[in-house]
Amino acid sequence: MPQINRRDFLKSAAAGIAAGWALSRKELAAQLAGDRPPQTGDVSVLNPQLRVPVSLIIDDSTCLVNLAHFAMPQFAETWPNRKDYQKAWRSMPREIPDAFVRKFAEWCRVQGVKGKYSVVPYPACVGWLDRFLPGWTRQELADSLQLVRTELLPDWDIHPEMVTHTRVVDTKTGRPYESSSPRYMENWQWTDGKSVDQLAEYMAYALRILKNVGLPCEGITTPGGFGSGVPAELAQATLQACRDVFAAEVPHYFRDVFTGRQSVAPRVLYASQLDGPDPRCVVSIIGCTDDWFGGWDGMTPGSPDRLIDQHLSAGRMVEVIQRGEPAIMVCHWPGIYYNGQETGFQVLQEAVRRLHARFDNLLWMKLSEIARYWAAKELTRIEKRASAVSLSAPFGTARFTLSIASPGNAAPQLVLGGKRVALNQVGSPRELRPGTWLRQAERLVVCFDLPKGKSELRV
């Protein structure tokens, strides 16, 4: 199966707001993994709690503004001969109301659904979230931002999807460039040939707007093909911008969707200074589905069957979960709302119902939690001497899970800061929690919250 870049489901640039280009092998090679510490061969880092991480990526979301309504005519100006941009955008609602945001957040909380929710800072050039939105009162904008803080932040990462998701902004003046050619649209060619510093400066501009309104960010989402031609620079710029603006310890970004046979595990990139006081890395999060919910414009009805069929036996999510890799669905906020019909939301509700009916080993996680776990998984130094496993972690993480060769019957002991921490034995993988261990034949499986720095397991 071919490798598919994020949002290729709308057939390359013809989809504009959601289009992208596939990474070639050469481009992937340009993204450097960086340093890797030694990890002893008879100790393996497993999935957290022996479960499969699942998550939901929501793109093209922001406060109040229905991005599809305002972006469609701007894309039509750039590509006047493309039918995808000749849709009846005036018939689309200009607003996705906060009442729907609240309804969605409450349902997700009950179901345990977590993920990433974009907040475009200057959506389609309508107005600035840290100033005002023409067409809405200041109080309405303030209430909408407060809703994101209270109802979404606990379970969702917030990302900028660059500044406007349409026109490129001159960061010196705050005004969009006059040209609407692909070279001055965030979704298309503006990033071509840009340096790390140029990309980081633009990302930081978007991040600071969200910081101004009290929305913390540990990562970014690329709009359309943003960064497609400069994948190495994009990764390094994310690392630079997220650290500079929010002091993010493990920055991450979402750009790519793979729907073929290749791994969709996160890519931990540009790891360095792992043994020093300021370790660094950036994590590329990979989506595993196209938008089979409602499309970027809220005019493309989807179906849960491509995610998981009615027999609970097939579908992309089933395939990835059975591989044991993070299964991260991708959708767009206008398609979830679907012009008030909530078609995409209904697809999501049924897909989640089926997933929970089929699997008992899922762990819903935010993208930042997945990124942090994979950084700890790949970058923790693991050495075994006699009956002790020493761990040196540049990044801590919750639910760290190890499998250790141990033919004896002794219980493992965790040593943190020179003090022993009690671990409780459980009888099955589903009972595994932080602070517990499980015997599987000649191996021990131990789950605990890994602190940054040094710790030890005595087995």
| Runs of H (alpha helix) within 148-185 | none
Q: What is the pLDDT of residue 142?
A: 98
Do 410 and 367 lie in one domain? The reply is no
Q: Are residues 261 and 281 in the same domain?
A: yes
Q: Has residue 347 been placed in a domain?
A: yes
> What tokens were used for 327?
């299964």
Residue 16: what pLDDT? 36
**For 199-252, what is each residue's pLDDT tens digit?**
999 999 999 999 999 999 999 999 999 999 999 999 999 999 999 999 999 999
Q: Which residues of 346-382 are buried (b: 16+ CB within 10 A; e: fewer)?
A: bbbbbbbebbeebbeebbbbbbbbbbbbbbbbbbbbb
Same domain flag for 244 and 340 = yes
Residue 448 lies in domain: 380-458
Label the pairing between strands 280-287 and 252-257.
parallel
76 and 190 inside one domain: yes
Q: What is the pLDDT of residues 386-398, one digit of tens each?
A: 889 999 999 999 9
CATH number of residue 177's parent domain: 3.20.20.370
Residue among 370, 258, 279, 203 nearest 28 (CA) = 258
pLDDT confidence of residue 106? 98
Predicted confidence at residue 27, as pLDDT, reads 53
241 and 154 within one domain: yes
- Give residue 26's pLDDT: 52
- Mark which of 352, 373, 394 sits at the end of a domain: 373
Domain-terminating residue out of 334, 358, 373: 373
Same domain, 271 and 420: no
Q: What is the DSSP letter of 246?
A: H
Cα–Cα distance measured from residue 448 to residue 155, given in angstroms and rounded to the nearest whole number: 21
- Residue 443 CA, chain-centre distance (Å), reads 33
176 and 90 in one domain? Answer: yes
Mean pLDDT by 10 residues, the chain (459 residues): 38 35 50 92 95 98 98 97 93 98 98 98 98 97 98 98 98 96 97 98 98 98 96 98 98 97 97 97 98 96 97 98 98 98 98 98 98 98 91 98 87 88 94 96 94 93
Are residue 438 and residue 334 in the same domain, yes or no? no
Distance CA 244, CA 256 (A): 24
Our count of domains for the chain comes to 2
d(CA 434, CA 428): 14
What phi and psi values does residue 163 have, to the nearest 5 degrees?
Answer: -80, -50
Last residue of a domain, one of 326, 356, 373: 373
Burial class (CB in 10 A: 0-12, 13-18, 19+), 16: buried
61, 344, 101, 119: CA torsion to nearest 10: -10
Q: Does the residue 44 lie in any domain?
A: no
**Per the domain annotation, does 46 fall within a domain?**
no
Q: How many whole angstroms separate alpha carbon 10 and alpha carbon 257? A: 12
- Provide the 10 A C-beta neighbour count for residue 203: 27
22: in domain: yes
The percent of residues above 90 in pLDDT, for the chain, comes to 87
Residues in the chain: 459
